[in-house]
């Protein structure tokens, strides 16, 4: 017995060794000793030989430089700096605290800098510097109280991920650097949060750049960059996002709120796309273009800003040929929701400009612009105000309930308030449409010194062109074939549809569905066709169809059981009777033994 217990104990101990040790080894790398374990004055590495010497000499450097065994410097406090030049090995610097900075130059191999703190770099000091570096990952580092928190120059194809930079002059700075990815970094309380100069094809996404003194994200002489899905709030002086002498950039899906000056600012920049941004509650303009041409300002939410919603400003006729379309520009507090000053040949179309403290749209010293298809309602002054502006074309707009009047034209030369066949809808039009052609029989007079008129006022509010429901996918979780007849049909959302109908073998099963699935139970074998049709309010449809085969197995016939069934009470009685007989027999046998 004692031997069995000892064997069992041995098995348990061996199992603990086999299963626990791999877990310890696996977590060894991800749970290093605390930063500051070694205090070092300076690390200088110039080439592969230096790496090998360090690894052979010091406990704080390990590895062989291979991709599966990189050189690692970890858990150190460096009072001066880490400098690496001419390196061609794979290495990692992690969990280090550096008083001056980490500088890596002329490297083209894959390496990682992670979990480091770099601080107090001094005037023009750099927390982490990459100079002529490619293929690096800068991950989860903290850089503070430097001139540059993280600095890239002449460096391409690097990734900056989940770093924090604060109390620097420049939180993250790129110059002459291309094809880099800046993802999920945080830059706050810097002069500039993220600054990109003379650089192209960089992705700046998912970052938070708040509470910086000048700009949250700033592009200077940079092109073909993407600024996407960033949060840029509470920045001072310049703007939340600023494009300065920059072109062919895309600024999309950003949240740009509560900045002290402008939300998104373009200065001397062209061919940029600013779209689908949320630009609200900024203390200056929402989106402002100064002397900038050929930009697309599309589908932005630009509301509740303290000055203009969207402002196009030119000097000597510079802000030209911009497309401002399908934006929502409501409840802004400046002279107008959309304001053009010295801006020419621009298209302002499909916007909503409502409830602004001034005019809905104002043109000042601006010529040859097209104001088309906008909804301009309930502004506290005029719907459209033209001031010393000429040869502008204004038609197919909706004017309703603007307090001072729907439009005024104080220009000395002519503006066109219809295109020759179609004018605008005026809620206060007092004429008639006796011939029923949808155009008022008499012109609509525009207020102001120009004496302008709309010759073809629209009788009814124009209805938007109906959108067709988009295509969608129809699937099921039925087996092939299905063997129980119980399954669910699923379909993806069809844009512009508001309800769905389901047909089985071209017979309507149910209509008016608003969900995206339907549960089915069918217990008859066969091949079934299911069609889902998407409908919108205009009766337009889109459909998809799927086939489900059902083959429920037939239970095989069984031979009747030849053993007759018994009433349970009879069985219980038999058991009790047999037990009694056995008990009596046992008792008699015991009595016989007693007598003997």
Following DSSP, what letter does each residue of 394-459 receive, concatenated? EES-EEE--SSEEEEEE-SS--BSS-SS---EETT-----TT-SSB-SS-EEPBSTT--EESS-BS
pLDDT of residue 318: 81
pLDDT of residue 23: 27
Between CA 419 and CA 431 the distance in angstroms is: 19
Residue 95: C-alpha distances to residues 34, 76, 118, 522 (Å):
7, 7, 11, 62
pLDDT of residue 25: 32
Closest alpha carbon to 338 in 368, 376, 367, 373: 376
DSSP3 helix / strand / coil % (the chain, rounded to 5): 10, 45, 45
Residues 6 or more apart whose Cβ sits within 8 Å of residue 566: none
pLDDT of residue 109: 73
Residue 21 Rama label (left phi>0; alpha psi -120 to 50; beta)? alpha
Q: Do 304 and 327 meet the contact criterion of CB atoms below 8 Å apart?
A: no
pLDDT of residue 184: 98
Q: Do 383 and 406 meet the contact criterion of CB atoms below 8 Å apart?
A: yes
pLDDT of residue 18: 32
pLDDT of residue 379: 97
Q: Which helix (H) or strand (E) holds 502?
A: strand 499-504
Under DSSP, is residue 77 helix (H, G, I), strand (E, B) or coil? strand
pLDDT beyond 80 at 299: yes
Between CA 177 and CA 14 the distance in angstroms is: 55
pLDDT averaged over the chain? 84
Report residue 381 CA to chain centroid gap. Answer: 37
User: Quick one: average pLDDT of 366-378?
Assistant: 96
**522-559 confidence digits (pLDDT tens):** 888 999 999 999 988 767 889 999 999 999 888 665 55
Percentage of the chain beyond pLDDT 70 is 77
Under DSSP, is residue 263 helix (H, G, I), strand (E, B) or coil? strand
For the chain, how many residues are written? 596
Percentage of the chain beyond pLDDT 90 is 59
Given pLDDT bands bounded at 50, 70 and 90, which one contains residue 63?
confident
Comparison of pLDDT for 462 and 59, the residue scoring more: 59
pTM of the predicted protein model: 0.71
Q: 């066109």: which residue's tokens?
A: 416
Exposed/middle/buried for 595, CB within 10 Å: 0-12, 13-18, 19+?
Answer: exposed
HSE-up (13 A, CA, CB side) for residue 581: 6
Q: Do 189 and 211 meet the contact criterion of CB atoms below 8 Å apart?
A: yes
Cα angle 316, 318, 321; round to 5 = 140
**141-155 confidence digits (pLDDT tens):** 889 999 999 999 999
**255-283 confidence digits (pLDDT tens):** 999 999 999 999 999 999 999 999 999 99
Give me 504's structure tokens: 């089985």
Under DSSP, is residue 570 helix (H, G, I), strand (E, B) or coil? helix
**375-429 confidence digits (pLDDT tens):** 999 999 999 999 999 999 999 999 999 999 999 999 988 999 999 999 999 999 9
Comparison of pLDDT for 54 and 212, the residue scoring more: 212
DSSP 493: -
Q: Do 273 and 299 meet the contact criterion of CB atoms below 8 Å apart?
A: no
Between CA 278 and CA 237 the distance in angstroms is: 19
User: Quick one: average pLDDT of 300-315?
Assistant: 96
Between CA 384 and CA 399 the distance in angstroms is: 9
Between CA 510 and CA 512 the distance in angstroms is: 7
Residue 268 Rama label (left phi>0; alpha psi -120 to 50; beta)? left
Beta strands in 260-377 (DSSP E): 262-267, 273-275, 278-280, 287-290, 296-298, 301-303, 310-313, 319-320, 323-325, 336-341, 343-344, 347-349, 352-354, 359-364, 370-372, 375-377
- Beta strand pairing call for 76-78 and 43-46: unpaired
Under DSSP, is residue 96 helix (H, G, I), strand (E, B) or coil? coil
What is the C-alpha R_g of the chain? 38
Closest alpha carbon to 54 in 96, 84, 88, 25: 84
Comparison of pLDDT for 193 and 72, the residue scoring more: 193
Give me 102's structure tokens: 């980490």
Given pLDDT bands bounded at 50, 70 and 90, which one contains residue 495?
confident
pLDDT of residue 282: 97
Cα angle 169, 170, 173; round to 5 = 155
pLDDT of residue 80: 57
- Beta strand pairing call for 192-197 and 425-426: unpaired
pLDDT of residue 2: 41
Give me 574's structure tokens: 């038999």
**456-491 confidence digits (pLDDT tens):** 999 988 655 567 888 999 999 999 899 998 999 999
Between CA 260 and CA 284 the distance in angstroms is: 7
pLDDT of residue 454: 97
Between CA 254 and CA 230 the distance in angstroms is: 5
User: Quick one: average pLDDT of 552-571?
Assistant: 59
Residues 6 or more apart whose Cβ sits within 8 Å of residue 578: none
Give me 383's structure tokens: 């719907």
pLDDT of residue 586: 55
Q: Do 167 and 190 meet the contact criterion of CB atoms below 8 Å apart?
A: yes
pLDDT beyond 90 at 439: yes
Q: 């066949």: which residue's tokens?
A: 421
């Amino acid at each position: 017995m004692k031997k069995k217990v000892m064997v069992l104990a041995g098995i348990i101990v061996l199992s603990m060794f086999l299963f626990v040790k791999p877990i310890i080894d696996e977590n060894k790398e991800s749970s290093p000793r605390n930063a500051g374990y070694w205090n070092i004055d300076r690390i200088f590495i110039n080439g592969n030989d230096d790496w090998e010497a360090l690894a052979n000499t010091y406990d704080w450097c390990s590895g062989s430089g291979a991709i599966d065994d990189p050189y690692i410097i970890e858990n150190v406090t460096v009072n001066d700096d880490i400098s690496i030049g001419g390196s061609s090995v794979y290495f990692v610097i992690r969990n280090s605290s550096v008083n001056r900075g980490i500088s890596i130059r002329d490297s083209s191999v894959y390496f990682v800098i992670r979990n480091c703190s770099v601080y107090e770099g001094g005037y023009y000091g750099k927390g982490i510097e990459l100079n002529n570096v490619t293929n690096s990952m800068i991950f989860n580092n903290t850089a503070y109280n430097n001139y540059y928190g993280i600095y890239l120059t002449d460096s391409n194809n690097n990734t900056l991920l989940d770093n924090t930079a604060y109390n620097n002059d420049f939180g993250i700075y790129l110059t002459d650097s291309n094809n880099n990815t800046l993802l999920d970094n945080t830059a706050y309380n810097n002069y500039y949060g993220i600054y990109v100069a003379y650089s192209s094809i960089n992705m700046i996404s998912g970052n938070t750049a708040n509470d910086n003194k000048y700009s949250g994200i700033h592009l200077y002489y940079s092109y073909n960059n993407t600024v996407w899905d960033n949060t840029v709030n509470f920045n001072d002086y310049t703007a939340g996002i600023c494009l300065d002498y920059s072109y062919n950039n895309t600024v999309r899906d950003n949240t740009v709120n509560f900045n002290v000056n402008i939300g998104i600012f373009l200065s001397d920049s062209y061919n940029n796309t600013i779209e689908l941004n949320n630009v609200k509650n900024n203390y200056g303009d929402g989106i402002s273009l100064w002397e900038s041409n050929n930009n697309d300002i599309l589908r932005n939410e630009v509301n509740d800003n303290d000055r203009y919603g969207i402002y196009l400003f030119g000097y000597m006729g510079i802000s030209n040929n911009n497309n401002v379309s399908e934006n929502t520009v409501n409840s802004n507090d400046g002279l107008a929701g959309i304001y053009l000053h010295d801006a020419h040949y621009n298209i302002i179309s499909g916007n909503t400009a409502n409830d602004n403290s001034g005019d809905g749209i104002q043109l000042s010293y601006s010529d040859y612009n097209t104001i088309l298809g906008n909804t301009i309602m309930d502004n506290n002054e005029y719907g459209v105000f033209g001031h010393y502006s000429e040869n502008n074309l204004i038609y197919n707009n909706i004017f309703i309930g603007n307090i001072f009047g729907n439009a005024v034209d104080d220009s000395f030369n002519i503006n066109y308030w219809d295109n020759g066949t179609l004018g605008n809808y005026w809620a206060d039009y007092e004429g008639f449409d006796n011939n029923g052609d949808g155009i008022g029989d008499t012109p609509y007079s525009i207020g102001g010194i120009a004496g302008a008129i709309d010759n073809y006022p629209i009788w009814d509010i124009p209805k938007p062109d109906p959108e067709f429901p988009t295509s969608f996918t129809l699937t099921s979780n039925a087996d092939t074939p299905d063997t129980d007849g119980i399954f669910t049909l699923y379909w993806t959302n069809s844009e512009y549809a508001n309800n769905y109908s389901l047909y089985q073998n071209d017979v309507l099963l149910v209509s008016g569905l608003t969900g995206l699935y339907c549960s089915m139970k069918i217990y008859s074998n066969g091949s079934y066709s299911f069609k889902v049709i998407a409908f919108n309010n205009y009766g337009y449809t889109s459909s998809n169809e799927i086939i489900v085969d059902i083959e429920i197995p037939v239970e095989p016939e069984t031979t009747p059981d030849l053993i007759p069934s018994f009433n349970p009470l009879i069985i219980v009685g038999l058991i009790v009777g047999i037990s009694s007989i056995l008990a009596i027999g046992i008792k008699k046998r015991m009595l016989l033994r007693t007598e003997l």
